[in-house]
A and B are shown apart, each in its own frame.
Chain A
Amino acid sequence: MKKIIEVKHLTKKYRKIKAIDNLSFYVFENEILGLLGPNGSGKTTTINAMLSLLSYDKGNICYLGKEITPDSYDIKKEIGVVFQEIAVFDELTVYENIDYFCGLYIEDKKIRKKYVDDAIKLVKLEQFVNYKPKALSGGLKRRLNIACGIAHKPKIIFLDEPTVAVDPQSRNNILEGIKKLRENGATIIYTTHYMEEVEKICDRIIILDKGKIICQGTKEELKQLTGIEEKVTIEINNLDRNHIEKFKKLQNVKNVEYRFENLEITFIKGKNNFTKLIDYLKKEKISYNKIYSEMPTLNDVFLELTGKDLKD
């Protein structure tokens, strides 16, 4: 795999606070890389530094071996960014906004028209081309924000929490669009604090906390880190306290919790955990309503590594 971007020892301080602390990672060609982290973990700061908008205290950032500076117009030409905050002009219509930003890269008018139309199609804003941003709902505005960032068909795309405060339908639209961009050959750096999104679309994941990388790798690699095999949830009414202690003594059981009539049992690696559990329930004549087994989530990974929940 070809490394497109190399970030080494990147450190950025705001006065005394280290917003990001000694980050090193690669971005490979045509992958979707997820930067996952809670609020304030340094995702936006990392992106802005990688765009050469922010000065940083240490480290360097290379695109195909070339260090980026504000004058690296040849590199910047290949980059598209969707900022976390909506950055469009209220005075211009949907079409004009996309055309304006696209025109900062694409001079040829014919090509530009096609590109703008493509972008509108991608985010499904065809019916709204003559609307002003103020007349758009939050989700539609987000889509416009995306279109403005990617209309010039860049090879490298940064998306900073593009789905925040968006309804599920718009969110799916956006995620589909991002997948399509990758199919068309783009490399994507995607930040979010929704782990479900990362699990859905990212090839590789970097988890950030307090400005530091706490782990990186593919989904499977990260889940290995937890040492958890599976998590079984059983709905049981009025479970006896004594039973809980007994569950804890079963083979391979790592943790047992009983909340809101739900018994959650996490298993470490081992064979046939689930079947053994069902056998045990029969033997003890414990009646239950529902039982299901899950793989560990990225939240479990985060919990394991930082001792806190990724969700607020």
Chain B
Amino acid sequence: MFLHNFKYSFLFLLKNKSLVFWTFFFPIILGTFFYMTFSNIENNEKLKKINIAIINNEELKNDKLLLSVLGYLSEDNNNEIFSTIYTDLEKAKELLENKEIIGYLEIKNSKYLITIKENGIEQTIFKYIIDEIIETKIIIKDISSTEKNINLEELYNKINNNITKVVDMSSDNLSYTMIEYYTLIAMSCLYGGVFGMYAINNILANMSKQGARVAISSIKKRTLLLSSLLAAFLIQLIGSLLLLSYTIFILNVDYGNNIVNTLIMTVTGSIAGLTLGVAIAALFKTNENIKIGIILSITMLGSFLSGMMGITMKYIVDKNMPLLNIINPANMITDGFYSIYYYQSMDRFYFNIISLLIFSSIMVMISIVRLRSQKYDSI
């Protein structure tokens, strides 16, 4: 019975053409599209430094930390990110008007004022780095007011490390587009949940006509659920792995040469997607199209917040609404891939894996509560 239901669930999910198109081929098409657009941008961006201006006044001269950090970031080494001009306000305004710089920083009454003309990746990085510097300064102030014997050199090193990280995130070490491919995998994992949704809808009496027919049969509900979900998961995984291989072999996306962790991440991401789909199937008593809509909205919003349409968004959310990305499964997956690629330490990777498992468990618990009832008030 288990195998019978498994076989047929597999068959009718796989034979659903529009479902297979949107889950298997749409992400691949989208990835190709990314590839075509970004390969141009990428090549230009790598060489380009960000042109900024700093208003040269008394306050700036007193801000040793800012000066040293900006100096470091503009120095001719491999990490340079800014091309910095020190000038007066008038001149800076003119430069901005002529688009020779993307923005300028003025320190006035101990406040850091950033002026930009338009929004974009470069502007975001500029703001982000200045924010980082200000934050670090506050920490130093705090420490120095409590601790008298402070080792300044050590502190500078720490800041420099942090700054290097920031720089690495935004300069040629992390290409802008890499994150977007990661969100693409995240999208595919989560959207694959529609298979789970269909599998559940097809066997519940209160969700579909076929479900009523299945429910009156002499097969145990547990056997039914498990075999259907296994089929859904397998198909979903095939889809995600197909996309993963495509990005690796055709689009040359770099996953940090750690194939095992990359696979673990993909599988865990797919579990999160599956359980999300199941929970939505169990939670809402509406037709399939509306459920697809709900899964699609969650997936798209999640992917967008974790940087699918530009890394800027991820920065903004991480910075201003960190909670949102902590509960966002798309971000967990994206961040997980990113951590494999970028960090030496595994902590962040494990953190994301565990977050995904917690997310999945919550989805499972929600589903169990709803799936337990065997008789319905109405069907």
A residues sitting closer than 8 Å to B (CB atoms) are 14, 48, 51-55, 70-71, 73-74, 76-77, 79, 81, 83, 85-89, 91-92, 96, 100-101, 103-105, 107, 148-149
Contacts and interface: CB of A to CB of B under 8 A. Distances in A.
B16 interface: yes
Interface of A is mostly: loop
Interface residues of B, number: 30
Nearest to A85: B209
Given A79-B216, A103-B4, A107-B4, A53 B376 contact: yes
B379 A107 contact: no
17 contacts: A51-B216, A52-B374, A52-B375, A70-B375, A76-B218, A83-B213, A85-B209, A89-B210, A92-B12, A96-B11, A101-B213, A101-B217, A103-B5, A104-B5, A104-B217, A104-B219, A107-B1
B15 interface: yes
Contacts of B377: 14, 54-55
Given A53-B216, A104-B217, 4 more contacts: A53-B379, A87-B209, A89-B12, A105-B217
A53 B15 contact: no
A81 B209 CA distance: 12
A273 B274 CA distance: 75
Interface string B214-235: 1111111100000000000000
B379 to A, nearest CB: 6
A100 B1 CA distance: 10
A84 B379 CA distance: 13
A272 to B, nearest CB: 54
Contact of B216 (A76, A92, A100): A76
A286 to B, nearest CB: 57
A54 B213 contact: no
Contacts of A74: 218
A92 B375 contact: no
Nearest to A148: B213
Contact of B8 (A73, A81, A85, A92): A92
B212 A55 contact: no
Interface string B336-379: 00000000000000000000000000000000000000111111
B202 A87 contact: no
A294 to B, nearest CB: 39
A88 B210 contact: yes
B12 A53 contact: no
Nearest to A70: B374
A85 B218 CA distance: 21
A100 B228 CA distance: 13
A218 B217 CA distance: 31
Contacts of A83: 209, 212-213
